[in-house]
Amino acid sequence: MIIDSKDLPLPRLQLTWKQESGLKWNCSYDLLIPVDENDGRNKNNTGCIKVNLGQTEVTGSSPLRTEKDGKRYLNTPFRDGAHAVWDSSSLCIPAFIVYENVAEAIPASDVEEKSGPKVQLETIAPEHQKNVIDNYWMMLRDCERNAKSILDKHMVEGHYRTWNAVTGSDQKPDWVK
């Protein structure tokens, strides 16, 4: 899913592609941390500081790829791409690939969830299952009400898919017709 890079959350990990010349590309791997506008580290008035974690140079290969469905996607460099996946999981913050003014979240399937033990509905005592389901619904609706950015809405839509898989229903967020 392509996102406008100015809508990305903080803190985040970011792989940023820049074309140096011809077929030469550079990808900077950075940690972006929010800071107050009056913070002395906010030198460029961006509201964040950037900590460089790595650089990758590539020759002959564009970071853009077109899939069979005709959609364009961004590639991650091998080494720093793997590091971004691992660090995202370890730090529990999102990771993005950025080229010019567009960004793409590193797919959740690429990031190992750091969510604790896997819980199956059958492992929850029968007398507590209804409360777990009811509480999940209340949290889902609260997340939906508070979703402002496209990324928040994307995550809420994912939670609705989980809800529908668990309950067998066909619920959708208010913004989906």
pTM of the model: 0.59
Sequence ranges of the domains in the chain: 2-110, 121-167
For 98-102, 120-124, 145-149, which range has the lowest pLDDT when averaged over its residues? 120-124
pLDDT tens-digit series, residues 47-93: 889 999 999 988 877 777 666 676 767 788 878 888 888 888 778 78
Q: Which residues contact 167 (CB under 8 A, 6 or more apart)?
A: 133
Helices (H), 50-172: 78-91, 126-146, 150-167
Of 36 and 120, which is predicted with more confidence?
36
At residue 112, the pLDDT reads: 44
**Beta carbons of 105 and 15 less than 8 angstroms apart:** no
Token pair, residue 160, equals 């609705």
For residue 108, the model assigns a pLDDT of 53
Name residue 110's amino acid. D
Give pLDDT, residue 176. Answer: 83
